[in-house]
Amino acid sequence: MDVFQAFEQVIDRTLQLRPDLLLHTGDLFDTVRPSNRALSFVFDQLRRLSEAGIPVVLLAGNHSTPRLRETGSVFGLFPHLDGVHAIYRGRLETIEVGAAAIHGLPHPIGTTLEAEARRLTPRPDSAYQVAALHGAVVGLEVFGRHEYNEQDIRLEALPQGLDYVALGHYHRFCEVAPRAVYAGSTERFSFAEGGETKGFVEVDLARHRWTFHPLKSRPMLTLEPIDCAGLAPEAIPRAVRERLESAALDGAIVRLRVLNLPAYLRATLDEAAIRRWAAPALHLDLQVEVRPEPGGAAISRAPLGPLGMEFRQYLDSVDLHGLDRAELERRGLGYLQGGEGL
């Protein structure tokens, strides 16, 4: 619901700002088969723009691009709304909207992002030239460990000489080059994004200026960890309670780590009481790290991450001598994502 509300905020602000175009640069959905609820919601929001006469261009990203053409794409539905255009066929497409030519580079199919970018040719009859692409710009630290099915592009390979390059895929708002900007996601999807302000970008093509508009988001707090080393047993729950009750928990998503808890005290930690102290929060992510006994190993309790991430970490932890790591990862992730093409 937070993700839905953030998107609705964007539509509300768009109707107030009355731009000539709304451009979405990829991963409108996080799967090629979004739920009926998500589809219905997005249709309702885009219909508001359609009825207001504000054109929309949607770009398919890696999460919402099927690996097999036979799967079909949900983006084929959206052009049934007046003024809504979708670029999702895995290759460069140019759409003229008013005085602007929008050169869309979706997640590529059977080619590369750089190869498609080289095919981009400005339209001489359009006053403004905008490239919209979905991928990882090589050189940003966040893209050091590739996401599955991710496409990258070198900074120097970005389309040049245009009025603006709208980038999608990276969740954080940032300018990677003059006139080349990631607007970022409209909501946070992990504690790694907890301190980030989410929003959207308003672009003035005539003046080559852009403005970031923040959105209202639910608080996401990572509290200072509690180190049990040196604390008396009776002081540990007191420290946990004080940490929680001193924070602004109302409606927040909260993470609290308890470190170096002696193993013999683990069973005495009253998690039910801890969750009562955190009751004003929407959700408490409590992580307890048990201090190992001499000669033992550290024991931790943490929530599982996405299955793809857990599978990669599993492969990192085992001996794959003589095996093809890349092929194992490809097949394993394929099975986890529905087994298409295997």
pLDDT tens for 266-317 read 888 899 999 999 999 999 999 999 987 665 555 555 555 577 777 887 888 7
Residue 110 included in any domain: yes
- The rounded distance, in Å, linking the Cα atoms of 61 and 286 is 33
Residue 227 included in any domain: yes
Same domain, 88 and 140: yes
**What string of pLDDT tens digits covers the 342 residues of the chain?**
999 999 999 999 999 999 999 999 999 998 889 999 999 999 999 999 999 999 999 999 988 887 656 667 889 999 999 999 999 999 999 999 999 999 999 999 889 999 999 999 999 999 999 999 999 998 766 554 456 677 889 999 999 999 999 999 999 999 999 999 999 999 999 999 998 999 999 999 999 999 999 999 999 999 999 999 989 999 999 999 999 999 999 999 999 999 999 988 988 889 999 999 999 999 999 999 998 766 555 555 555 557 777 788 788 878 888 888 888 888 888 888 776 545
pLDDT at 63: 84
pLDDT at 342: 55
Same domain, 191 and 324: no
pLDDT at 137: 92
- The rounded distance, in Å, linking the Cα atoms of 177 and 161 is 12
Same domain, 164 and 192: yes
Closest CA to 94 of 128, 131, 62: 131
- The rounded distance, in Å, linking the Cα atoms of 302 and 287 is 6
pLDDT at 333: 84
Residue 91 included in any domain: yes
Same domain, 86 and 189: yes
Same domain, 235 and 132: no
Residue 193 included in any domain: yes
The token pair that represents 222 in the structure block? 């990572």
Residue where one domain finishes, among candidates 214, 249, 267: 214
Residue 341 included in any domain: no
pLDDT at 71: 67
Report the share of the chain in percent with pLDDT over 90. Answer: 70
H-only helix segments in the chain: 2-17, 36-51, 113-118, 235-245, 271-277, 307-317, 325-336
Residue 342 included in any domain: no
Q: DSSP label at 304?
A: -
CATH number of the domain within which 121 lies: 3.60.21.10
Same domain, 131 and 99: yes
- How many domains does the structure of the chain reveal? 3
- The rounded distance, in Å, linking the Cα atoms of 164 and 184 is 16
Same domain, 136 and 268: no
Same domain, 34 and 145: yes
Residue 231 included in any domain: yes
Same domain, 244 and 311: no
Query: Residue 277 sits in which domain range?
Result: 220-301
Same domain, 131 and 277: no
* DSSP-assigned letters across all residues of 204-221: ETTTTEEEEEE-----EE
The token pair that represents 335 in the structure block? 């099975």
User: CA separation (Å) from 189 to 201, 233, 234?
Assistant: 19, 35, 36
Same domain, 28 and 172: yes
Please list the residues that pair with 290 across neighbouring strands.
Answer: 261, 299
Residue where one domain finishes, among candidates 158, 187, 214: 214
Whole-model pTM: value is 0.79
**At 114, phi and psi to the nearest 5?**
-65, -40
pLDDT at 175: 94
Same domain, 284 and 245: yes
pLDDT tens for 88-102 read 999 999 999 999 999
